[in-house]
Amino acid sequence: MLEIIIITILISTILNLLLKQFEIPTIIGYIATGTIIAYGFHLHEAVNSHELKDIAEFGVVFLMFTIGLEFSAKHLAKMKKDVFVYGGAQVLLTATILSFLAHHFFSIEAKSAIIIGLALALSSTAIVLKLLNESGDINKAYGRRVLGVLLFQDIAVIPILLMITIFSAKDGSVSDLLLMTLGKAMLLLFGLFVAGKYLLEPFFESVSKTKSDEIFISSILLIVIGASYVAHMFGFSYSLGAFVAGMLIAETHYKYQVQADLIPFRDLLLGVFFITVGMQLNFEIIFENIATISVLLPVLIAIKMTIIYSIFRFSSTTSSRDSIKTSLSIFQLGEFALVIFELAYAKELLDPTTGQILIVVVVISMIMTPFVLKNISKIADTINKTDEPTLDTAKLDISSLKNHIVLVGYGRLGKHISYLIEKNNMNFVAIEGDIKTVKDAQKQNLPVIFGNASQKNILESVHIRDAASVIISIGNSQKLHHICQSVNELTNNTKTIVKVNKYEEKELLDDLNLSHIVVETEKTATAMFDEAMKC
- Residues 26-83: pLDDT tens digits? 778 888 898 888 888 766 555 455 555 666 667 677 777 877 776 666 666 777 888 8
Domain count, the chain: 2
Q: Which of 380, 408, 428 is the last residue of a domain?
A: 380
Q: Are residues 376 and 400 in the same domain?
A: no
pLDDT exceeds cutoff 90 at 315: no
Q: Show which of 359, 380, 401 is a domain's final residue.
A: 380
pLDDT digits 0-9 by tens, 67-122: 777 666 666 677 788 888 999 999 999 999 999 999 988 889 988 999 999 999 99
The enclosing domain of 501 has a CATH number of 3.40.50.720
Domain membership of residue 221 (yes or no) is yes
Mean pLDDT of 267-275: 77
Paired residues of 494 in beta bridges: none
State the Cα–Cα distance between residues 49 and 27, nearest whole angstrom: 22
Mean pLDDT along residues 115-140? 85
> Does position 392 have pLDDT exceeding 50, yes or no?
no
Indicate whether 72 and 216 sit together in one domain. yes
Are 104 and 200 part of one and the same domain?
yes
Is residue 466 within 8 A of residue 405, CB to CB? The reply is: no
> Are residues 408 and 372 both part of a single domain?
no
Among the listed residues 418, 400, 401, the one whose alpha carbon sits nearest the alpha carbon of residue 409: 418
Q: Distance from first CA to last CA of the chain, Å, rounded?
A: 83
Domain membership of residue 406 (yes or no) is: yes
Across 123-136, average pLDDT: 82
Does any domain span residue 7?
no
Q: What is the pLDDT of residues 149-162, one digit of tens each?
A: 998 888 788 788 77
- Cα 336 to chain centroid, rounded: 15
Domain end: 328, 356, 380, which one? Answer: 380
Q: Is residue 166 part of a domain?
A: yes
Number of H helices, E strands in the chain: 26, 6
| Average pLDDT of the residues in 339-343 | 80
Backbone angles phi, psi at 399, to 5 degrees: -70, -30
376-383 and 320-329 helices, crossing angle to 10°:
130
Does residue 194 share a domain with residue 150? yes
206 and 343 belong to one structural domain: yes
Same domain, 301 and 341: yes
Q: Are 326 and 440 in a shared domain?
A: no
Residues ≥6 apart with Cβ < 8 Å to 309: 323, 324, 326, 327
Model confidence at 200: pLDDT above 60: yes
Strand partners, 497: 471, 516
Least confident of 129-143, 299-313, 401-415: 129-143
488 and 447 assigned to the same domain: yes
> Which residue segment(s) compose the domain that 462 sits in?
393-534
Residues 81 and 129 in one domain: yes
Mean pLDDT of 325-332: 94
Mean pLDDT calculated for residue range 382-387: 67
- Contact between 516 and 483 under an 8 Å Cβ cutoff? The reply is no
Q: What's the rounded Cα separation, in Å, for the pair 409 and 415?
A: 9
